[in-house]
Amino acid sequence: MTSGAKFGCLATAVGSMPHKDAGAACREVLRFLPEIPAWPQLPLRSFKESQYAQFSEGFPGLNPQDNKYFVDRGGRFDAQLEKLYQSYLAQDIDCCPTSPEYAAGLHAMLSIRGVSPLAVKGQITGPITYGLGITDKEQRPIIYDDILADAMAKFLRLKAAWQERALKGISRRTIIFVDEPSMSYFGSAFVSLTKERVISLLNEVLSGISGFKGIHCCSNTDWPVLLLTNIEIVNFDAYAFAREFSLYPAEVGKFLKRGGCIAWGVVPNSEKDLANESVSSIRDRLGEAMAPFTRKGIPYRDLLEQALLTPSCSLAGLSVDAACTALGLLADLSSEMRRRHSL
């Protein structure tokens, strides 16, 4: 595990913003989150920045159709697959870049000079979400095809490594979150995957990250499964699902003892909820989310020191003004927690 995962309630973002102007989005992120900025994903700017498309650039046999992507095994698929495996074995991360066309916010952030944050955060779609969202020509999710699923995990590993190397130009300390919203379906009739398969696919992608490795899931899931992976940071929606997360104090305690960090997504991402909250109310909500763990013997100081603060999930569904309100509330909460507890 990477040493020094004690962030002391510093703030960062999940990723997505409602802006269409990449430069403007980066300026807002840096204004509110100067210590740990996250490059902004801009799904409203282009379909290519949507969840499934953004990190699809270069995957073997991938074809767009009606704003959806599917894998076609015909044509040059075999040659492209062979090239991917050759690059994987050679650890050639240059084979899997993410271009400005697919991530304008990433490249806008990389172009900024004169900033020196404590760390910089990136994000990539995880293999469970990606593998369930991308299909073959018969509309079968590629995660259920052993060859495609293995290629997909190796491909995302190379994508993550390329992104991390690029972000090191901003800060030597990097945080990469693997975004897994579809893990909320794990264990249901909609997803037929074993725990072992989930862990194996996630660890393959995480193994491409040398800095801090995180997982974000914005709904409820089988948290012990994610805590068994090689992550160092778990990010969850503490605004809506704190009770569900608190059902696993033993697993969370083990995670913290091995140096893990919890990223508490305690600032809401709906305009209605934002209108009803303040720094003090969100601070109280954070305390309530932590309380079940302190009652089970986890020291409160450990929870604070091994904590990041984030929005509950993406801010892309808000207006630009509301997204800035959320980031402002997050920044003020972080400052308040660090001042109160001398972090």
Q: What is the pLDDT of residues 223-251, one digit of tens each?
A: 999 999 999 999 999 999 999 999 999 99
* 3-state SS, residue 51: coil
Q: In 3-state terms, what secondary structure has residue 217?
A: strand
Give the closest residue to 11 by CA, choosing from 307, 341, 318. 307
Query: Please, what is the Cα angle at 162 between 160 and 165, to 5 degrees?
Result: 105
pLDDT per residue as tens digits for the range 31-81: 999 999 999 999 999 999 999 999 999 999 998 877 788 999 988 999 999
- Mean residue pLDDT of the chain comes to 95
- The overall longest dimension of the chain from CA atoms, in Å, is 62
For strand 135-136 and strand 120-125, is the pairing parallel, antiparallel, or unpaired? unpaired
- Both structure tokens of 150: 């293995």
Instruction: Kindly report the pTM of this predicted structure.
Output: 0.96
Q: Give the residues across from 214 on adjacent strands.
A: 177, 233
> Domain spanning 10-340: which CATH class is it, in words?
alpha beta
Q: How confident is the model at residue 211 (pLDDT cuts 50, 70, 90)?
A: very high
Q: What is the pLDDT of residues 310-340, one digit of tens each?
A: 999 999 999 999 999 999 999 999 999 999 9
Instruction: Give the angle subtended at the CA of 270 by the CAs of 265 and 275, to the nearest 5°.
Output: 105
The C-alpha atoms of residue 212 and residue 170 are separated, in whole angstroms, by 15
pLDDT value at position 3? 52
Confidence of residue 4 (pLDDT cuts 50, 70, 90): low
